[in-house]
Amino acid sequence: MDETKKLICEVLNEIADNIERGDFSKKVSIGLTILGSELGLDEMIKGAEFTSKKYTDFEIVLIGPKTDSKLRTIEANTPEECHKTMDKLLESGEIQGAVTQHYDFPIGVATVGRVITPARGKEMLMGTTTGTASTSRIEAMVLNAVSSIAVAKCIGILHPKIGILNVEGSRSVERILLEMKKRGYDIDFAESIRADGGVVMRGNDLLMGTPDIMLCDSLTGNLLMKVFSSFTSGGDYETSGYGYGPGVGEGYDKIISIISRASGTPVICEALRFCASCVKGDLVKLAKEEFERANACGFKELLVKKETIEETVKPPPKKAVTEEILGIDILDLEDACKALWKEGIYSESGMGCTGPVLLVPGDELDHAILILEKAGYK
Protein backbone atom coordinates (compact mmCIF):
# COMPACT_ATOMS: atom_id res chain seq x y z
CA MET A 1 0.00 0.00 0.00
CA ASP A 2 2.87 2.37 0.85
CA GLU A 3 4.36 1.77 -2.60
CA THR A 4 1.00 2.57 -4.25
CA LYS A 5 0.73 5.83 -2.30
CA LYS A 6 4.28 6.71 -3.25
CA LEU A 7 3.56 6.08 -6.94
CA ILE A 8 0.39 8.21 -6.80
CA CYS A 9 2.35 11.03 -5.16
CA GLU A 10 5.01 10.87 -7.85
CA VAL A 11 2.38 11.06 -10.62
CA LEU A 12 0.61 13.98 -8.92
CA ASN A 13 3.90 15.81 -8.43
CA GLU A 14 4.75 15.32 -12.09
CA ILE A 15 1.35 16.67 -13.14
CA ALA A 16 1.89 19.69 -10.87
CA ASP A 17 5.33 20.29 -12.41
CA ASN A 18 3.84 20.17 -15.91
CA ILE A 19 1.10 22.63 -14.94
CA GLU A 20 3.70 24.99 -13.48
CA ARG A 21 5.74 24.85 -16.71
CA GLY A 22 2.63 25.08 -18.88
CA ASP A 23 3.65 21.79 -20.52
CA PHE A 24 0.57 19.77 -21.51
CA SER A 25 2.07 17.96 -24.51
CA LYS A 26 2.07 14.19 -24.63
CA LYS A 27 5.41 12.74 -23.58
CA VAL A 28 7.43 10.83 -26.11
CA SER A 29 8.90 7.50 -25.05
CA ILE A 30 12.59 6.76 -25.67
CA GLY A 31 13.93 3.24 -25.29
CA LEU A 32 17.38 2.53 -23.86
CA THR A 33 19.00 -0.88 -24.25
CA ILE A 34 21.04 -1.48 -21.10
CA LEU A 35 23.17 -4.54 -21.94
CA GLY A 36 26.60 -4.40 -23.55
CA SER A 37 28.28 -1.46 -21.82
CA GLU A 38 31.94 -1.88 -20.84
CA LEU A 39 31.07 0.18 -17.76
CA GLY A 40 28.46 -2.32 -16.59
CA LEU A 41 24.70 -2.48 -16.15
CA ASP A 42 24.71 -0.13 -13.15
CA GLU A 43 26.19 2.73 -15.19
CA MET A 44 23.44 2.41 -17.82
CA ILE A 45 20.73 2.45 -15.17
CA LYS A 46 22.39 5.34 -13.37
CA GLY A 47 22.48 7.28 -16.64
CA ALA A 48 18.81 6.62 -17.33
CA GLU A 49 17.68 7.54 -13.81
CA PHE A 50 19.80 10.69 -13.82
CA THR A 51 18.18 11.69 -17.12
CA SER A 52 14.66 11.08 -15.84
CA LYS A 53 15.31 13.55 -13.01
CA LYS A 54 17.04 16.14 -15.18
CA TYR A 55 14.57 16.04 -18.08
CA THR A 56 10.91 15.40 -17.34
CA ASP A 57 9.41 16.04 -20.77
CA PHE A 58 10.02 12.53 -22.11
CA GLU A 59 9.73 8.99 -20.74
CA ILE A 60 12.61 6.52 -20.64
CA VAL A 61 11.86 2.84 -21.18
CA LEU A 62 14.62 0.42 -20.20
CA ILE A 63 15.12 -2.59 -22.45
CA GLY A 64 17.05 -5.33 -20.69
CA PRO A 65 17.00 -7.58 -17.63
CA LYS A 66 14.83 -6.77 -14.64
CA THR A 67 16.53 -4.52 -12.13
CA ASP A 68 15.63 -2.53 -9.02
CA SER A 69 15.09 0.61 -11.11
CA LYS A 70 11.70 2.33 -10.81
CA LEU A 71 11.84 3.14 -14.52
CA ARG A 72 9.58 1.09 -16.75
CA THR A 73 11.48 -1.97 -17.99
CA ILE A 74 10.72 -4.31 -20.86
CA GLU A 75 12.60 -7.53 -20.30
CA ALA A 76 15.30 -8.78 -22.66
CA ASN A 77 18.24 -10.84 -21.47
CA THR A 78 20.88 -10.66 -24.22
CA PRO A 79 22.11 -7.77 -26.40
CA GLU A 80 20.59 -9.48 -29.44
CA GLU A 81 17.25 -9.84 -27.69
CA CYS A 82 17.44 -6.18 -26.65
CA HIS A 83 17.75 -5.09 -30.28
CA LYS A 84 14.92 -7.34 -31.42
CA THR A 85 12.70 -6.02 -28.65
CA MET A 86 13.71 -2.43 -29.42
CA ASP A 87 12.84 -2.86 -33.12
CA LYS A 88 9.43 -4.32 -32.26
CA LEU A 89 8.67 -1.47 -29.87
CA LEU A 90 9.62 1.08 -32.53
CA GLU A 91 7.51 -0.64 -35.17
CA SER A 92 4.48 -0.80 -32.88
CA GLY A 93 4.89 2.84 -31.84
CA GLU A 94 5.16 1.94 -28.17
CA ILE A 95 8.42 3.89 -28.17
CA GLN A 96 9.17 6.65 -30.69
CA GLY A 97 12.95 6.63 -30.49
CA ALA A 98 15.75 4.54 -29.00
CA VAL A 99 19.34 4.81 -27.79
CA THR A 100 21.54 1.74 -28.13
CA GLN A 101 25.04 0.41 -28.87
CA HIS A 102 26.46 -1.47 -31.85
CA TYR A 103 23.36 -1.36 -34.04
CA ASP A 104 23.63 -2.64 -37.62
CA PHE A 105 22.20 0.11 -39.82
CA PRO A 106 21.59 -0.71 -43.50
CA ILE A 107 23.99 0.72 -46.10
CA GLY A 108 22.79 4.23 -46.83
CA VAL A 109 22.26 5.14 -43.18
CA ALA A 110 24.86 6.85 -40.99
CA THR A 111 24.69 8.66 -37.66
CA VAL A 112 25.09 12.38 -37.03
CA GLY A 113 26.89 12.94 -33.73
CA ARG A 114 27.02 16.00 -31.52
CA VAL A 115 30.05 17.14 -29.51
CA ILE A 116 31.08 19.99 -27.25
CA THR A 117 34.33 21.41 -28.57
CA PRO A 118 37.04 22.09 -25.96
CA ALA A 119 38.35 25.50 -27.02
CA ARG A 120 35.08 27.43 -26.75
CA GLY A 121 32.57 24.96 -25.31
CA LYS A 122 30.62 25.21 -28.58
CA GLU A 123 28.28 22.46 -29.77
CA MET A 124 29.09 21.00 -33.17
CA LEU A 125 27.42 18.28 -35.23
CA MET A 126 29.69 15.59 -36.69
CA GLY A 127 28.40 14.17 -39.93
CA THR A 128 28.92 11.26 -39.64
CA THR A 129 30.14 9.04 -36.80
CA THR A 130 29.10 5.45 -37.51
CA GLY A 131 27.18 3.57 -40.19
CA THR A 132 27.81 3.82 -43.94
CA ALA A 133 26.05 6.37 -46.13
CA SER A 134 27.88 4.98 -49.18
CA THR A 135 30.86 2.74 -49.88
CA SER A 136 32.40 5.70 -51.80
CA ARG A 137 33.94 8.24 -49.43
CA ILE A 138 33.10 11.27 -51.60
CA GLU A 139 29.51 10.17 -52.18
CA ALA A 140 29.13 9.36 -48.49
CA MET A 141 30.31 12.81 -47.42
CA VAL A 142 27.90 14.54 -49.80
CA LEU A 143 25.04 12.40 -48.48
CA ASN A 144 26.25 13.17 -44.96
CA ALA A 145 25.81 16.87 -45.69
CA VAL A 146 22.14 16.36 -46.53
CA SER A 147 21.54 14.16 -43.47
CA SER A 148 23.37 16.55 -41.15
CA ILE A 149 21.41 19.57 -42.36
CA ALA A 150 18.19 17.70 -41.50
CA VAL A 151 19.46 16.96 -37.98
CA ALA A 152 20.59 20.57 -37.51
CA LYS A 153 17.16 21.87 -38.48
CA CYS A 154 15.58 19.33 -36.15
CA ILE A 155 17.40 20.83 -33.15
CA GLY A 156 16.67 24.42 -34.16
CA ILE A 157 19.65 25.42 -36.35
CA LEU A 158 17.68 26.51 -39.40
CA HIS A 159 20.62 27.71 -41.51
CA PRO A 160 23.58 25.58 -40.41
CA LYS A 161 27.06 26.42 -41.69
CA ILE A 162 28.95 23.44 -43.05
CA GLY A 163 32.68 22.80 -42.90
CA ILE A 164 34.43 19.95 -44.70
CA LEU A 165 37.16 18.23 -42.72
CA ASN A 166 40.50 18.13 -44.54
CA VAL A 167 40.51 14.41 -45.34
CA GLU A 168 40.93 12.59 -48.64
CA GLY A 169 38.08 13.59 -50.92
CA SER A 170 37.35 16.95 -49.27
CA ARG A 171 38.02 19.06 -52.37
CA SER A 172 35.82 16.83 -54.51
CA VAL A 173 33.07 17.10 -51.90
CA GLU A 174 33.48 20.88 -51.90
CA ARG A 175 33.06 21.07 -55.69
CA ILE A 176 29.92 18.94 -55.62
CA LEU A 177 28.33 20.92 -52.78
CA LEU A 178 29.15 24.22 -54.50
CA GLU A 179 27.55 22.94 -57.70
CA MET A 180 24.47 21.86 -55.70
CA LYS A 181 24.26 25.41 -54.33
CA LYS A 182 24.46 26.82 -57.87
CA ARG A 183 21.58 24.55 -58.84
CA GLY A 184 19.41 25.93 -56.05
CA TYR A 185 20.11 23.76 -53.02
CA ASP A 186 19.98 25.86 -49.85
CA ILE A 187 23.34 25.30 -48.18
CA ASP A 188 25.63 27.65 -46.23
CA PHE A 189 29.36 27.23 -45.70
CA ALA A 190 31.63 28.03 -42.78
CA GLU A 191 34.99 29.77 -43.16
CA SER A 192 38.11 28.27 -41.59
CA ILE A 193 39.68 30.32 -38.82
CA ARG A 194 43.09 29.86 -40.47
CA ALA A 195 44.53 32.80 -42.40
CA ASP A 196 43.82 31.24 -45.80
CA GLY A 197 40.17 30.60 -44.88
CA GLY A 198 38.01 28.40 -47.09
CA VAL A 199 35.39 25.76 -46.39
CA VAL A 200 37.97 22.97 -45.87
CA MET A 201 38.51 22.74 -42.12
CA ARG A 202 41.75 22.05 -40.24
CA GLY A 203 42.42 20.56 -36.82
CA ASN A 204 42.21 24.06 -35.34
CA ASP A 205 38.63 24.34 -36.58
CA LEU A 206 37.76 21.06 -34.88
CA LEU A 207 38.91 22.40 -31.54
CA MET A 208 37.22 25.76 -32.03
CA GLY A 209 33.93 24.37 -33.37
CA THR A 210 34.14 26.69 -36.40
CA PRO A 211 31.21 25.15 -38.35
CA ASP A 212 27.81 24.07 -37.10
CA ILE A 213 28.36 20.82 -39.02
CA MET A 214 31.74 19.18 -39.59
CA LEU A 215 31.54 16.84 -42.58
CA CYS A 216 33.75 13.76 -42.60
CA ASP A 217 33.64 10.05 -43.34
CA SER A 218 32.21 7.80 -40.64
CA LEU A 219 35.50 6.18 -39.61
CA THR A 220 37.15 9.56 -39.06
CA GLY A 221 34.04 10.87 -37.33
CA ASN A 222 33.92 7.86 -35.04
CA LEU A 223 37.53 8.39 -33.97
CA LEU A 224 36.93 12.11 -33.37
CA MET A 225 33.81 11.40 -31.30
CA LYS A 226 35.84 9.17 -29.00
CA VAL A 227 38.54 11.83 -28.60
CA PHE A 228 36.07 14.66 -27.97
CA SER A 229 33.97 12.68 -25.51
CA SER A 230 36.71 11.08 -23.39
CA PHE A 231 39.88 13.18 -23.68
CA THR A 232 39.55 14.33 -20.05
CA SER A 233 39.12 10.80 -18.68
CA GLY A 234 41.98 9.03 -20.41
CA GLY A 235 39.75 7.23 -22.89
CA ASP A 236 37.91 4.57 -20.90
CA TYR A 237 34.91 6.70 -19.84
CA GLU A 238 33.09 9.13 -22.13
CA THR A 239 32.16 12.22 -20.17
CA SER A 240 31.16 14.85 -22.71
CA GLY A 241 28.78 15.35 -25.62
CA TYR A 242 25.56 13.87 -26.92
CA GLY A 243 26.71 10.55 -28.30
CA TYR A 244 27.09 9.34 -31.85
CA GLY A 245 23.61 10.51 -32.77
CA PRO A 246 20.64 9.30 -34.80
CA GLY A 247 20.94 7.20 -37.95
CA VAL A 248 19.78 9.16 -41.00
CA GLY A 249 19.45 8.17 -44.64
CA GLU A 250 17.13 8.59 -47.59
CA GLY A 251 13.93 6.65 -46.88
CA TYR A 252 14.98 5.59 -43.37
CA ASP A 253 11.97 5.79 -41.05
CA LYS A 254 13.30 5.10 -37.54
CA ILE A 255 15.04 7.26 -34.94
CA ILE A 256 17.75 5.10 -33.42
CA SER A 257 20.66 6.87 -31.74
CA ILE A 258 24.01 5.37 -30.86
CA ILE A 259 26.23 5.57 -27.80
CA SER A 260 29.54 3.83 -27.21
CA ARG A 261 30.19 0.95 -24.84
CA ALA A 262 32.41 3.45 -23.02
CA SER A 263 29.70 6.13 -22.71
CA GLY A 264 29.23 7.21 -19.10
CA THR A 265 26.25 8.79 -17.33
CA PRO A 266 26.77 12.34 -18.75
CA VAL A 267 26.80 11.08 -22.36
CA ILE A 268 23.94 8.61 -21.81
CA CYS A 269 21.88 11.47 -20.42
CA GLU A 270 22.47 13.87 -23.30
CA ALA A 271 22.14 11.11 -25.91
CA LEU A 272 18.64 10.38 -24.57
CA ARG A 273 17.87 14.12 -24.66
CA PHE A 274 19.22 14.38 -28.23
CA CYS A 275 17.10 11.41 -29.34
CA ALA A 276 13.98 12.88 -27.74
CA SER A 277 14.63 16.20 -29.50
CA CYS A 278 14.89 14.38 -32.83
CA VAL A 279 11.55 12.67 -32.18
CA LYS A 280 9.85 15.92 -31.16
CA GLY A 281 11.37 17.75 -34.12
CA ASP A 282 10.15 14.99 -36.49
CA LEU A 283 13.55 14.09 -37.90
CA VAL A 284 12.13 11.44 -40.24
CA LYS A 285 9.93 14.04 -41.95
CA LEU A 286 12.70 16.66 -42.09
CA ALA A 287 15.17 14.17 -43.58
CA LYS A 288 12.64 13.15 -46.23
CA GLU A 289 12.11 16.80 -47.19
CA GLU A 290 15.86 17.53 -47.21
CA PHE A 291 16.61 14.63 -49.56
CA GLU A 292 13.75 15.73 -51.81
CA ARG A 293 15.33 19.19 -52.06
CA ALA A 294 18.73 17.66 -52.84
CA ASN A 295 17.21 15.37 -55.47
CA ALA A 296 15.41 18.31 -57.06
CA CYS A 297 18.77 19.92 -57.85
CA GLY A 298 20.03 16.69 -59.46
CA PHE A 299 22.68 15.99 -56.87
CA LYS A 300 22.91 12.28 -57.64
CA GLU A 301 24.19 12.89 -61.14
CA LEU A 302 26.97 14.97 -59.57
CA LEU A 303 28.04 11.93 -57.59
CA VAL A 304 28.86 9.90 -60.69
CA LYS A 305 32.57 9.25 -60.60
CA LYS A 306 34.59 11.00 -63.33
CA GLU A 307 36.50 8.76 -65.73
CA THR A 308 40.20 8.81 -65.02
CA ILE A 309 42.75 9.69 -67.67
CA GLU A 310 44.44 6.63 -69.12
CA GLU A 311 47.72 5.61 -67.58
CA THR A 312 49.41 5.75 -71.01
CA VAL A 313 49.63 9.56 -70.86
CA LYS A 314 53.32 10.46 -70.59
CA PRO A 315 54.81 13.70 -69.23
CA PRO A 316 56.20 16.34 -71.62
CA PRO A 317 59.88 17.37 -71.27
CA LYS A 318 60.75 18.33 -67.71
CA LYS A 319 60.83 22.04 -66.81
CA ALA A 320 61.42 23.96 -63.59
CA VAL A 321 58.17 24.15 -61.63
CA THR A 322 57.93 27.29 -59.52
CA GLU A 323 54.21 27.90 -59.06
CA GLU A 324 51.68 26.03 -56.86
CA ILE A 325 48.05 25.31 -57.71
CA LEU A 326 46.00 24.61 -54.59
CA GLY A 327 42.50 23.26 -54.06
CA ILE A 328 42.78 19.91 -55.84
CA ASP A 329 41.76 16.86 -53.88
CA ILE A 330 44.48 14.34 -53.17
CA LEU A 331 42.33 11.62 -54.77
CA ASP A 332 42.30 13.67 -58.01
CA LEU A 333 45.88 14.91 -57.87
CA GLU A 334 47.52 12.37 -60.19
CA ASP A 335 44.69 12.58 -62.72
CA ALA A 336 44.88 16.39 -62.68
CA CYS A 337 48.61 16.15 -63.27
CA LYS A 338 48.01 13.91 -66.29
CA ALA A 339 45.34 16.28 -67.60
CA LEU A 340 48.06 18.94 -67.86
CA TRP A 341 50.53 16.52 -69.43
CA LYS A 342 47.93 15.71 -72.06
CA GLU A 343 47.86 19.42 -73.00
CA GLY A 344 51.65 19.65 -73.13
CA ILE A 345 52.19 21.32 -69.74
CA TYR A 346 54.77 19.71 -67.49
CA SER A 347 53.58 19.41 -63.87
CA GLU A 348 54.40 17.56 -60.68
CA SER A 349 52.26 16.63 -57.72
CA GLY A 350 53.28 17.51 -54.19
CA MET A 351 52.10 18.07 -50.65
CA GLY A 352 52.16 21.53 -49.09
CA CYS A 353 51.49 22.53 -45.50
CA THR A 354 47.80 23.08 -46.30
CA GLY A 355 47.30 19.98 -48.43
CA PRO A 356 48.02 18.63 -51.92
CA VAL A 357 49.43 20.95 -54.60
CA LEU A 358 50.21 20.83 -58.31
CA LEU A 359 53.52 22.38 -59.28
CA VAL A 360 53.74 24.01 -62.73
CA PRO A 361 56.16 26.29 -64.62
CA GLY A 362 55.63 29.97 -63.78
CA ASP A 363 54.97 31.03 -67.37
CA GLU A 364 52.21 28.40 -67.79
CA LEU A 365 50.30 28.96 -64.55
CA ASP A 366 47.29 30.77 -66.01
CA HIS A 367 46.93 28.29 -68.90
CA ALA A 368 47.21 25.35 -66.48
CA ILE A 369 44.45 26.77 -64.24
CA LEU A 370 42.12 27.16 -67.24
CA ILE A 371 42.74 23.55 -68.28
CA LEU A 372 42.05 22.25 -64.76
CA GLU A 373 38.87 24.33 -64.43
CA LYS A 374 37.59 23.04 -67.77
CA ALA A 375 38.34 19.46 -66.70
CA GLY A 376 36.48 19.98 -63.40
CA TYR A 377 39.44 19.73 -61.07
CA LYS A 378 39.01 23.29 -59.68
Instruction: Give tens-digit pLDDT for 256-268.
Output: 999 999 999 999 9
Q: Which residues pair with 115 in a beta bridge?
A: 124
φ/ψ (deg, to 5) at 270? -75, -25
**pLDDT tens by residue, 44-59:** 999 999 999 999 999 9
The C-alpha atoms of residue 121 and residue 115 are separated, in whole angstroms, by: 9
- The overall average pLDDT reported for the chain is 89
Domains of the chain (ranges, CATH numbers): 109-232+282-302 (3.40.50), 323-375 (3.30.70.1530)
Q: What Å distances lie between residue 114 and 131, 167, 169, 224, 241, CA to CA?
A: 15, 19, 22, 11, 6
244 contacts 259 by C-beta, under 8 angstroms: yes
Q: Is the pLDDT confidence value at 5 over 70?
A: no
* Mean pLDDT value of segment 283-310: 83
Catalytic-labelled residue, pool 154, 269, 275, 353: 353
- In the residue annotation, 353 being an active-site residue is answered as yes
The C-alpha atoms of residue 80 and residue 94 are separated, in whole angstroms, by: 19
The predicted pLDDT at position 308 comes to: 43
What's this model's pTM, rounded to 2 decimal places? 0.80
What is the residue type of 19?
A: I
* Mean pLDDT value of segment 149-165: 97
